[in-house]
Amino acid sequence: MNNYDIIVIGAGNGGLTAAATLTQKGLRVLLLERHNIPGGCATSFCRGRFEFEVALHQLSGLGTPENPGPLRMTLDKINVLNKLEFVPMTDLYRFVMPDKIDITLKPDRAEIIEELQRHFPHEKEGIQQYMDLVYNFFTQVIGVFYLNDPETSRKKYPLYYQYALKTTQEVMDQFIKDPMLQAVLSPFWTYVGLPPSKMAFVDMAAMLFAYIEFIPFHLKGGSQALSNAIADTIIENGGTIRFNCGVKKIIIENSSVKGVITDKGETISAENIISNASKLTTYVDLIDKNNVPEPIIKELKQCSISPSAFTLYMGLDCEPNQVGITESSNFLVPGIDNDYIYERMKEIDIDGRNAMMLSCYNLIDPGFSPPGTSQVALVTLKYGDPWLSVPPGQYVDEKYRVADAMLKVVEKTFPGLRKHIEEIEIATPITHLRYLGTPRGSIYGFENHIKDSSLFIPNESHIKGLYLAGGSVGLCGFQPTLDSGVITAKKLIRDKAA
């Protein structure tokens, strides 16, 4: 029987930063990962002469050395910042609704306002007021929620109290009347998976603030470089990482953690565990039913699982501008009815009624693929359920049929793209289920309705020694999950010292 202070289950963002923080304090940490590489979503894979980025489209919250964001400080604290090269994006996003509007916003507050006012002069005041509110409201959220001001009051934080429980749609309706402008202002809802009518304004404000104030970034070497750098740091700090080593069971005795049993049948003891596996996986698959605390069962019953994604990873034999790709981040949106677009996420088929996101880093990092080529990721959100009903014998045909339909749609905006495809790989919700092990292949944890917005997500395990980190116990995305690992590790260290 080996003995460690802490076992971390899963080397996704949350597991990696947790292990890095704990090893910095000299604790004996074992990180167990079922895949053969670190990163979870934050990984890459190779096909032909391309190394494809799996997940990262836009890194939020990093900021520059002159205007550092929270993520820069987090990465600095765990000693990985100096191992990485970041590339600032020159666009916030290009928003295309075919035959209706094609507008590019730069990641600069004043320029965004100016560009929107140029396109929507009848909404001049509303645009200014909405953008001001996003900033002022979120500044108050930082005071109340992130800095834990002990003297929180309605008088001191009026915007926080007024808007913290509103949906994005409710707030946009207050300032913006033109539905086209509302659509242009809100494509980031696809980074959470709930349309503005269901998405908490606090989560939309958090994203807008993080991406505008601190600029979206890309990373040389993609997100795998980040995962590798954190894994290296853990090892340099004296930690142990085992790949190809999944955890089958968490051993609990008398409501306290005692260790784990790996999928190879090995028992490893530890009094503390941080699970970066989904909360649902942790409590349903890894812990015996009779050891799951009642409050957790109650909590899980109230949660709904987020969507997964259908993604085409494409290596093109040409420069991006040859097929009309002029920006790194492109939202292709079929219409102004986001609720309808959301409903379409529940069906397998893809056509001109689905919203898509197309990323191409080559525009800011020409070395991202071999000279004269480009790498493109085209993603649309899809719930996993319909894919789980596809008979295994039909899966491959179905995958190619849907990919073909998706290409037909994207070629309306980027003509000729198909004939430049040198390599293509298709990921369905089943692919995410296989590689991430998340319920129904979900990529954003649980749905963050207002009651589950970033302000309310509970992260108490009710089992002594068990902690959770990652996208199912907070907001999803790189910045929140990287932070989540650090926060959880610090909580564990505090508890151990108490």
Ligand X SMILES: Cc1cc2nc3c(=O)[nH]c(=O)nc-3n(C[C@H](O)[C@H](O)[C@H](O)COP(=O)(O)OP(=O)(O)OC[C@H]3O[C@@H](n4cnc5c(N)ncnc54)[C@H](O)[C@@H]3O)c2cc1C
> Whole-angstrom Cα distance, residue 307 to residue 320?
29
378 binds ligand X (CB under 6 A): no
**What residues between 41 and 80 interact with ligand X by CB under 6 A?**
41-42, 55-58, 60
Single out the residue of 470, 486, 488, 492 in contact with ligand X (rule: CB under 6 A): 470
Contact 50, 375 (CB under 8 A): yes
Give the number of residues in contact with ligand X, rule: CB under 6 A: 39
> Whole-angstrom Cα distance, residue 476 to residue 484?
10
Single out the residue of 106, 481, 486, 488 in contact with ligand X (rule: CB under 6 A): 481
Which is closer to ligand X, CB of 140 or CB of 461? 461
User: Which one of the spans 3-11, 99-107, 361-369, 399-407 is the region binding ligand X (CB under 6 A)?
Assistant: 3-11
Give the per-residue contact string, 75-104, with ligand X (x = CB under 6 A; - = no): ------------------------------
Contact 141, 124 (CB under 8 A): no
Element (H, E) at 214: none
Single out the residue of 11, 185, 333, 463 in contact with ligand X (rule: CB under 6 A): 11
C-alpha distances (whole Å) from 267 to each of 247, 382, 392, 464 are 10, 38, 34, 19
Q: What is the Cβ-side half-sphere exposure of residue 74, based on CA atoms within 13 angstroms?
A: 27
> Whole-angstrom Cα distance, residue 130 to residue 172?
7
Single out the residue of 221, 239, 246, 429 in contact with ligand X (rule: CB under 6 A): 246
Give the per-residue contact string, 433-452, with ligand X (x = CB under 6 A; - = no): ---xxx----x---------
User: At closest approach, how far in Å is the CB of 295 from ligand X?
Assistant: 22
Contact 309, 429 (CB under 8 A): yes
User: At closest approach, how far in Å is the CB of 117 from ligand X?
Assistant: 28
222 binds ligand X (CB under 6 A): no
Contact 348, 333 (CB under 8 A): no
218 binds ligand X (CB under 6 A): no
> Whole-angstrom Cα distance, residue 241 to residue 247?
13
Residue carrying the six token digits 């929140």:
480
User: At closest approach, how far in Å is the CB of 357 from ligand X?
Assistant: 8
User: At closest approach, how far in Å is the CB of 190 from ligand X?
Assistant: 9
Number of helices followed by number of strands (H, E) in the chain: 16, 20
**What residues between 294 and 333 interact with ligand X by CB under 6 A?**
309, 311
Terminal alpha carbon distance of the chain: 27
**What residues between 130 and 169 interact with ligand X by CB under 6 A?**
none
9 binds ligand X (CB under 6 A): yes
Which of 250, 247, 346, 265 has the alpha carbon at shortest distance from 296?
A: 250
Residue 257 tokens, joined: 């953690």
Contact 168, 316 (CB under 8 A): no
Give the per-residue contact string, 382-421, with ligand X (x = CB under 6 A; - = no): ----------------------------------------
Rg of the chain on CA atoms, in Å: 22
Which is closer to ligand X, CB of 14 or CB of 126? 14
Residues that bind ligand X (CB under 6 A): 9-15, 32-35, 40-42, 55-58, 60, 246-247, 276-277, 281, 309, 311, 379, 432, 436-438, 443, 470-471, 476-479, 481
